Chain A
């Protein structure tokens, strides 16, 4: 049976999900080994008893890039740059994001100053050559790089987005002299202006390049030895997948994989169920993540900060917009110096973990709060892997939180969840309302170990009326990979006034990007008729800086399309910011082409309708804010059939995941296996 397999390496676990032509699904989970990432995959494959020779397509998301960046374990990297601009990576944007912190430290560049070299050359903002490249200096440069033991080189010249000739020329010359050197050019990873952001992207690409190449070598070698001769794809930050040769060239586009794949899954699920507006909600051990998904695909951000804005490095890599808050199951609740109750961002992680898991945790966590309120099965936690120590959790809750605040342990636990849920709700609100989307029109798709447990409460507090809990919510990222298309987001800075005079130049850029996108896809095995291209202009009102990607309905601009795109921009702007300026001139900053090769979607087996018997829940005491402790119906997800209807308060348990319905919530089991929950409305207790 030809199989489709998705493997997601996460921080703690590696998940594998496989589906064959008949719709047979299997799943495996193994611990991730940071030093040997492929070992987790191997044990998953062994566990699932999948002969690799049966696998037609293997999709893979890995933490190899993000680990290398965060742990700063990459290649010895040098930079070759325009004369006069040796310190772009170190100067950055000169800001100090922690306003009042006298001890703030800038993030350290990935290339130290002694390995940052200048060469005479200069391109102007219009792409014209101001000073030719001093090719004579390159031989000496090659010698210096070799003597210094440099393994990777980023070639970053000013205005290379407008003209990459010098970068290419320098690369060709140096590669000929240094055949083993891993070389990246800034224009190859990003063709947008803003030198610090682009140089940073190229430097990180070079820094991780050799390591990722070794990783792919290992992985492909092992695949080959195991008899695999199908297609291997890598998950990218833009929610698409790419072939391994491309992964070797632009590994920096793989920084985010797991969370992004989950959001792709959420979008596909929403689309399949006729929900155009979806919020993907993923809650794990240390954080909760959310993305806004419109018409099946999440929003993309142009600049992503790896390790966060204040202390991180910018990447000019289109990345699915995922906002993150420090509230996961392991997030610690603690009182600060003013006796205020704070949740996260510190997390107990998996070691020592929450107090109730008995592994030595000494501070109460969100999971402990859930456990004390009866929301987690105390005798069958994590698919029976452990029994919860509620007495110890209560003692710690009492001592650390309840007593100092003058509450009892139950009220403290419910308060912790209220605050955690409210923090997550603010994050979700941030990505909906702020962008002109009314949350009441959205559907929340909940996944990750904790997502379904908190989703209905989060949804209720911001007025989202529908929550969907997919099948296998705890390994939804691996599932999302199976649904991802091959995708390239190509961007070219191309500053113009949006008027008829610019049409030719814009069309030229569109054509170039389209050709490149098609080429990349066909090289990866897609046939021409599978390829679809989407065309955008990043527009702003004259004098503005921030741009909105605005779709062009045609593949090229003409007078009609020009007028249409202008009107569409006003509309989008109005939707997002509540006002627009149809009388102001509009500028084009970037031209953007998204090239997609759709992959066949696997079909999952439907859940049959109930033919006999009826729902027969068990009961245990569970606490709800407005009800106190009540006998709450507990259902097993495996026992549910299509069409079954459940009413909150209720709990649905399945392997490693729990879904909570509050009073007023009603759930239906969809034939697809997803649980669709109609969320009860929150009552306002305020005045007016």
Chain B
């Protein structure tokens, strides 16, 4: 039965003025925490790349407000971590000044690099809230530098697990835990530095929240928080109610699980819209796989996709997901056994969210995007820098492309759905910090899927090793390209090869490389996938195709073959007669 009732905004149980003051105060607090983290973080992945998230949670571990300025992939996923800490220690077992650290896979369900730090907020001797920061640590041990092996077969190969431990107790550092962390990372200074930055951000959150409670009173603040959650629910329900009831499904494949290179991994989502409620059913997802694309992140994935659709403009609170039901049996690729490898969990997240958008296309033709590049990180090299004898690794986010929509072309050269405000490290910094030389970083012409609206262009990145090193990579969309919608065509697939110094010979690179040895001068040539197109490419206005050719986003050949537009090769003027004839011919043959 469809529940069509939209929840009316509740009567003003809270003073509407205090509500806004508290709401803005909470938002400003998480933003200040974010800025504090960015400025004090150690490793580039936190400071430049912003691969982290943070939030305030209530005394029960439900999210009050999450920062809008960090990686969206971590949406509302800290609650379970805090609830587990509460269960473990009990309220009486937590003291003011405690700092807790956790990253174990059973709890966090994601790769071990993502380490949560949180602190209880005390007012008048009572826990009133928690401040939490999850951040990608550059290395937590395991088989490869960076802890993200594309070939690992269990979680133990991916690094150390910290199963909820106090790293500060009542304000005093717990030396054993510090030593444990220090000993288990290839970059202990960076990791401990990032941990300090996380702690510092939590402390700021504690102070701010405490001040607010002292100023307005705990009851008033709690009522405001409840109302903020109710408001988020109202917004989410309104959005879902606007989608026609029905069952929407879609499937695709991951290229590989990383270990069994010839076996694509089937993904399937089923979305059920009933009134103001949405159910996301992951029962059709591939069972857990041998390689590291697993996670226990079904909830996170579902919430992230849901957020894109329901309330893109408002900060995340737990109330935003009350009308979301998640169905997911144990043992799938997104609900794997805790011992399963999870290093490249992000590949599954992106593809699954992309699938949710694809599934909803019939219901929301103007509200979704065509297929994306769905990659997370570019290939990275690691080793010992001969200039200073220090270990290094060069992981940066993958420069991908987005699918087109019914209203606009896809975005070129952007991070994936799950990455948001994640930023690539500048070429000038990478070359200064690491023994690499980047020969090219530019858009990849013809990679965008043709359509009435064109898919975004992927990027070409050519990186030469200046010292012998190990190369690791995990690329997606190397077989199945990012899909088009409404008659739009797919984008180009991701391609990569290597060359040796002084030679043009293209040598195949494994698509999931594990500690592949690069000699000095070996070069990776990466051609990132383009986004899918939207709508019939023969309906793309001729002058737009012409402009694409002028800008060399599209070649003369692609203009002719995919868009049916004929241009003079010298002047780039449109040959109207030939174009009309060619478009007619191509449309007829497509129809026939």
Contacts and interface: CB of A to CB of B under 8 A. Distances in A.
Interface in A571-585: 576-579, 581, 584
Contacts of B462: 84
A338 B229 CA distance: 11
A103 B407 contact: yes
Given A91-B459, A426-B25, A687 B217 contact: yes
A542 interface: yes
Interface stretch (A132-140, A188-196, A279-287): A188-196
A243 B376 CA distance: 49
B373 to A, nearest CB: 11
Contacts of A196: 426
Contact of A113 (B19, B50, B551): B551
Contact of A341 (B17, B28, B43): B17
Interface stretch (B31-39, B260-268, B269-277): B31-39
Interface string B155-197: 0000000000000000000000000000000000110010010
Interface in B185-238: 189-190, 193, 196, 200, 203-204, 213-218, 220, 230-231, 234-235, 238
Interface stretch (A20-28, A93-101, A503-511): A93-101
B218 A686 contact: yes
Given A85-B442, A686-B213, A340 B19 contact: yes
Contacts, number: 233
Nearest to B213: A686
A273 interface: no
B432 A495 contact: yes
A338 B39 contact: no
B216 A685 contact: yes
B508 interface: no
Contact of B217 (A101, A415, A686): A686
A423 B28 CA distance: 9
B553 A113 contact: yes
A92 interface: yes
Contacts of B19: 340
B313 A101 contact: yes
Contact of A125 (B17, B428, B552): B428
A611 interface: no
Interface string A408-429: 0000001100110011001001
B72 interface: yes
A649 B568 CA distance: 77
B421 A99 contact: yes
B559 to A, nearest CB: 15
A102 B21 contact: no
A541 B431 contact: no
A97 B421 contact: yes
Contacts of B441: 84-85, 87-88, 91
Contacts of B238: 337
B301 interface: no
Contacts of B307: 100
Interface stretch (B89-97, B99-107, B292-300, B411-419): B411-419
B494 interface: no
A406 interface: yes
Contacts of B42: 541, 543-544
A375 B137 CA distance: 54
B45 to A, nearest CB: 10
Contacts of A430: 28, 31-32
B312 A102 contact: yes
A686 B218 CA distance: 7
Contact of A422 (B25, B551, B553): B25
A87 B413 contact: yes
A341 B21 CA distance: 10
Contact of A418 (B21, B31, B35, B39): B21
Contact of A546 (B11, B40, B123, B235): B40
Contact of B47 (A340, A546, A576): A546
B35 A102 contact: no
A684 B214 contact: yes
Contacts of B218: 686-688
Contacts of B72: 99-100
Nearest to A427: B28
A336 to B, nearest CB: 8
A102 B308 CA distance: 7
Contacts of B308: 100, 102
Contact of A434 (B36, B437, B438): B36
Interface in B390-424: 397, 399, 405, 407-408, 411-415, 419-424
B41 A106 contact: no
A105 B408 contact: yes
A112 B551 contact: yes
A385 interface: no
B517 interface: no
B216 A194 contact: no
The 4 A-B residue pairs with the shortest CB-CB distance in the complex, in nearest-first order: A84-B440, A99-B420, A688-B124, A545-B47
Interface of A: 83-88, 90-106, 112-114, 124-125, 130, 158-159, 161, 193-197, 337-343, 405-407, 414-415, 418-419, 422-423, 426, 429-430, 434, 495, 541-546, 576-579, 581, 584, 684-688
Given A84-B442, A194-B429, A688-B123, 14 more contacts: A92-B413, A95-B422, A96-B414, A99-B69, A99-B312, A158-B428, A159-B431, A341-B17, A422-B21, A544-B193, A577-B36, A686-B217, A686-B220, A687-B217
20 contacts: A85-B441, A85-B442, A91-B441, A93-B423, A95-B423, A99-B421, A124-B431, A195-B428, A340-B19, A340-B20, A415-B17, A419-B20, A419-B21, A422-B25, A495-B432, A542-B189, A545-B48, A546-B47, A579-B200, A687-B214
